[in-house]
Structure 1
Amino acid sequence: MTKNDHLKIIHVCQYYNEGYGYQENLLPRYQAKLGHKVMVITSDRMSYFSGGKDPKIVGSGEFEDNGIRILRLPIKTELKGRFVVFNNLYDILKREKPDYIFHHGLISPSIKTVCKYKKKNPSTFLVADNHADLDNSARNPLWRLSYYRIYSTFRLKKCINYIDLVFGVTPARCYFAENELGIPHDLIRLLPVGADEFTVKEHLEKKDFLDNNYNNINNKLKVVTGGKWSEGKGLKELISAVQDLNVELQIFGKLDDSYTKNIIEQAPNNVTFLGWQDRIGTLRLLASADVAVWPKLHTTLVEDAIATKTPLILRYQGNTSHHIRENGVYLFTGTSIEIRQILDILSNSENLINKMKENSKKQLDLLSYKRIAKESIEYYYDKSAKTTHEVFMNDPLCNPSNRDFHKLS
């Protein structure tokens, strides 16, 4: 096929949350914007974290989300929150005859199914991505050894000859694929979770929003953070850091335990909790902020902040090592003292904030889903590393030998 041809692309993911801003929602949408015919095959349920302790089962069948065809299949069984065993996935692939299969994740049973299809249809381009790292999947040394280095690596050896490329969605997850799962180095490319610039332009870059943007209306530094809050995610340190500063801190999201609820109840007057926000509400809060802060862990809200060109304060680690290039500040301890020192400086330096905002445009250019989707298609024609991989994987900040790169928060 030539680069002017439109591909038939199928994404296979274990769970799908309709209307969310995750990679499995947005990458297919941006590929479709490039003119390709895109379909997502998934299970009959949403992720566990979207429905509490139990999955939200929405049933099988076909529907559209953001103009993308979504096919939900019934399942035989599942390992709670990790993967499902699909019914009839192979038959659906035979019926649809994709040019390109994008399998989300490396260790679910469906990787064997797509490799079986690739074996019988060698012209199909098959990629898999990796979202696992030492923070979210292998904190326990025994589990890391038994499940990843032994069991999963053994299973993947039977599949690797049929996989064209493996995409790590952060630098740390590139190295995890190689070091913990045994994926050959020359098969791994960085294809990051991207920034959703189209949604920002559609909903935020309008006169009514810009007219009502209240940045610095009270001459305070407006700081925003959000997510699913529980003990250990840095909320206590952040709230302590802003006490008596010329800062307005807005927190949104969900409080998952009594610990964080108690912290919010005792917060000072310059802290406001706004509760759970839908996607557009989230983007509006980020866009109206001077700076967005996450003191401990990576979250996909970081990419949303990049989409709104909002400066960042992030804890340095392998999953955030590609996010800040003069568009913010890294934390190296995450203590309230460190956060406070940075916010105090920023609250007294409008010029510094403006420089960070200007540099945020450059980060958006590198991490936009528009670029990421384009590169995902370019790999179909040429498997050599593309711009995003070359820029970040050769950057000293993304070197895995750096202190704290693999630090477990």
Structure 2
Amino acid sequence: MKILHICLASAFTERMTYQENFLSTENTKAGHDVTIISDCYKYENGRKIPTDPEEKILEDGTRLIRLKYDKVLNDFVSSKVRKVTNLYNVILKIKPDVIMLHNLSGWETISVARYKKNNPKIKLYGDSHTDRNNSGSNWFSLYILHKFFYKSIIKRAIKYFDKIFYISFEAKDFLQENYNIPENLLEFYPLGGTVISETTKKTYRKEKREELGIPQNDILLCHSGKMDRKKRTYEIIENFSRLQNKNIKLILIGVFSDDVESKVSHLIEKDSRIKYLGWQNSDALIKYLAASDLYLQPGSQSATMQNALCTGTPVLFENVRSHEPYMAGNAFVINSCSEIESVLERISNNPAVLKSMSENAYDLARKLLDYKKLAERITK
């Protein structure tokens, strides 16, 4: 089966723990002929940078094609319109049996729908991560881009889609409130990860803790990503710094925004229990998550939370609707960052609670988050 993932707003980057990476790899491993079409951007050390058009075969055997946006006024407008004149011709050459369009918001949703119209036997799926936390944050974005421009495109194309997947309840709300997507077309399709075995987890735990000089019995906390104000990185470090227990450690993985770095650098420097590891590739990140006892995500949502659960690592996150599917005895759920210190005190005084939470994390991951199963869904 030929499967095409179209990621014109994703800045596809090799060896990252994003949905399109995992799904395309699992589709390829299952024996399908898989192609990714991406825009000409990628991440380097946590920052998005431009790259050239290209076509190549990735390490896992997936073909990657990068196509440049048409110039519409300037680079900013071009990145919002997302028009790629040659896309339709490239799809014609690939002749896919399944198309997964990652992000409906862009001009080429019309081209994808036209291909389905002309080839009605194929399966066409759309996927949306957009919600009020990451989009529509100002008048222009919400009313001009989403409620007018993107909505008009989606209205023309929607009848050709077999399903529109949403990754969270907030994403579903956004689809319905701004694009009028009908309920019967929508399906929950969470971000996931690769579920590692308990044996592999022990191996990674030993490897990374020896590398970091952290004893196996110490409690290790992890926080990662593009650490800006919304991530609540400062609040994590501030609460952690008040703990007196010397046997609890914190690792930070990713890159700081300038305003956060200026607030946390002195706290990191004066606390030897905190280690900043910089940006890490997906393989290393998974190992650090497996070596940790708790992953901290009190702020904005990230796919790393699901990756952590897939390594059997419990999580701490905010009490919001989108986290409800992930509350199964595997998470500390907080209503505000002021509760972080009490959670850390609790596990500091009773580390045994983390063992049962790890078992529950594995149970949830196997049922809901395994990308092997999620990848199979789009081949049906």
Same-fold call, TM > 0.5? yes
Q: Alpha carbons of 1:49 and 1:301: their partners in 2 closer, same or farther (altered >3 Å)?
A: same
List gaps (5 residues or longer) in structure 1: 1-6, 379-409
Residues 191-244 of structure 1: CA deviation (Å, up to 9, x unaligned): 1111123xx569x82875454464982754211111111234212211121223
Which residue matches 1:368? 370
Cα distance in structure 1, aligned partners of 2:129 and 2:169: 11
- In 2, the alpha carbon distance for the partners of 1:217 and 1:47 equals 33
Instruction: Check 1:87–1:46 CA distance in 2 against 1; reply closer, same or farther (3 A cut).
Output: farther
What amino acid maps onto 2:129 in structure 1?
A: H
| Range moving further from structure 2, 302-311 or 35-44 | 35-44
Q: Is 2:330 aligned against 1:331? A: no
Tell me the residue number matched to 2:128. Answer: 130
Q: State the match for 1:257 in structure 2.
A: 258
Segment drifting more, 348-357 vs 314-323 = 314-323
Structure 2 residue identity aligned to 1:140: N
Identity %: 25
Alignment partners' CA distance in 2, 1:112 and 1:129: 15
Letter in 2 for 1:373: A
- Written as runs of structure 1 = structure 2, the 5 A alignment for 1:133-282 is 133-141=131-139, 143-197=141-195, 200=196, 205=200, 209=204, 211-212=206-207, 214=209, 217=215, 219-242=217-240, 243-246=242-245, 247-267=248-268, 268-282=271-285
Q: Pick from 37, 41, 45: which aligns with 1:41?
A: 37
**Deviation of the 1:45 alpha carbon:** 3.1
SS at match of 2:3: strand
Runs of 4+ with >6 A deviation: none
d(CA) in 2 for partners of 1:74, 1:260: 33
| Partner Cα distance (1:283, 1:290) in 2 | 13
Contact 1:310–1:360 (Cα < 8 Å) also in 2: yes
Match of 2:12 among 13, 16, 24: 16
Deviations 1:81-132 (A, max 9, x none): 5463224211122222111111111111111101111111111211111111
Give the root-mean-square deviation of aligned CA atoms: 2.5
Indicate the SS of the match to 2:200.
coil
> When you count helix as a share of all residues, which structure comes out higher?
2
Q: What is the alpha-carbon distance in structure 2 between the residues aligned to residue 87 and residue 155 of structure 1?
A: 16
- How many Å separate the matches in 1 of 2:117 and 2:228? 45
What are the within-5 Å matches in structure 2 for residues 327-366 of structure 1?
Answer: 327-335=330-338, 338-365=339-366, 366=368
Gaps of 5+ in 2: none
Counterpart residue number, 1:32: 28
Inter-partner Cα distance in structure 1 for 2:350 and 2:87: 56
Aligned residue identity for 2:305: V
Aligned length in residues = 365
